[in-house]
Structure 1
Amino acid sequence: MMLGIILALLAGGLVSLQNIFNTKVNEHTGSWATTTLVLGMGFAASLFISLLVEGRGTFSLQHMQPWYWISGMIGVGVVICLVKGVRQLGPTFAISIVMTSQLGFALLWDSLGWLGLDQVPFTWNQLIGVLILLGGILVFKFGGTSENRGSKYESH
């Protein structure tokens, strides 16, 4: 369990770092060029590492539902939405909304057992946790003085 927590924390840090880099790339190119660069570099890196670690096993794809293959296309939507969201809202506000959305949808999919997941019983405590996070975002964004409420990102 501890390894899972460490890996999840690392993933969160890497996602935040990637979004900063993506935003900087987007300042010099368009959103689609940024997405192409990000996902193209990710493909090259993951293919290289996979070939080193798994060898020919990289291409052993039997017993997989065909609709799982659209994950890469979903990644295009993720990168485009994040780049544009960070540009409009700023990194902290955008990422806090993304995290809350991820948690809310994960709760929904777990509770309903969608997409081949084992169904996890819904509890009101889980929903309250998501709502508390949402409340924290609202306090973060709108709870300061009137001088702090304006954002350089809102004018884009």
Structure 2
Amino acid sequence: MLITGISLALLAGALVSLQTIFNSKVNERTGSWSTTTMVLFTGFIASFLISLLVEGKNTFSFQHMQPWYWLSGAIGVGVVFCLVQGMKLLGPTYAISIVLTSQLSFALLFDSMGWLGLEQIPFSWNQLLGVLVIVGGIVLFKFGGSKSEKSEQSPGTLQSDS
């Protein structure tokens, strides 16, 4: 069970990265809102068809669901739009690093507080330290390049085309 969960989580991370790259390429040819619409519409079609195949008539069984859970689709619009814009402004690795760190930070907050119907998991300083280590890694990734890379990128350096 644990191995399956880890495998699915790893696959989800790979798919998010792949989707982000695809979304970025679509956004190069069209606007961010068109990209968001296309991504969510094709996702709707795919999930609807797979749901019909896997769950059949239970696809439309929504008993005991809080009405505010229906906002999930609208939240998805914000996710895709912000991710496409972040990729355009920051590049894939930096943008995804920040997104995943933000996701982990908010998951820690929601778990620790027991918000949104989650089972409350006691907060520990080790969890916070883990998030801060990841943030430190992102800072090193972005600003900790080698000296030769920095000298090549410095604005006062003239480069010849020969």
TM-score (norm 1): 0.94
- Structure with the bigger RCO (C-alpha within 8 Å, sep 6+) is 1
For each residue in 1:110-137, what CA deviation from the matched residue of structure 2 results, as whole angstroms up to 9, or x when unmatched?
Answer: 0000000000000000000000000000
CA 1:48–1:125 in 2, change beyond 3 Å: closer, same or farther? Answer: same
Report what 1:154 is aligned to. none
Aligned to 1:120: 121
Q: 1:87-121 deviations in whole A, cap 9, x for unaligned?
A: 00000000000010000000000000000000000
Partner of 2:159: none
The 5-angstrom pairing of residues 2-151 of structure 1 reads 2-145=3-146, 146-147=150-151
Structure 1's unaligned 5+ residue stretches are: 151-156
CA distance in 1, matches of 2:112, 2:55: 34
Counterpart position of 1:153: none
Tell me if structure 2 keeps the 8 A contact 1:141–1:149: no
Query: Does structure 2 retain, via aligned residues, the 8 Å contact 1:93–1:137?
Result: yes
Q: Which runs of 4+ in 1 moved over 4 A?
A: 147-150
Deviation at 1:148, TM superposition (A): 7.0
TM-score by length of 2: 0.90
**1:29-68 C-alpha deviation (Å, 9 max, x unpaired):** 0000000000000000000000011011000101100001
Give, in whole Å, the separation in 2 of the partners of 1:72 and 1:147. Answer: 46
Question: Equivalents in 2 of 1:101, 1:142: separation in Å?
Answer: 19
- Which moved further from structure 2: 97-106 or 141-150? 141-150
C-alpha change, 1:18 and 1:149, in structure 2 (3 Å) is farther
Identity %: 70
Cα distance in 2 between the residues matched to 1:140 and 1:58: 44
Q: Deviations over 1:64-84 (max 9, x none)?
A: 000011000000000000000
Paired residue secondary structure (2:29): coil
Q: Give the number of the structure whose alpha-carbon radius of gyration is greater.
A: 2
Q: Which amino acid aligns with 2:24?
A: T
Q: Work out the CA distance in 2 between the residues paired with 1:144 and 1:45.
A: 41
Task: State the Cα distance separating 1:149 from its structure 2 match.
Answer: 6.5
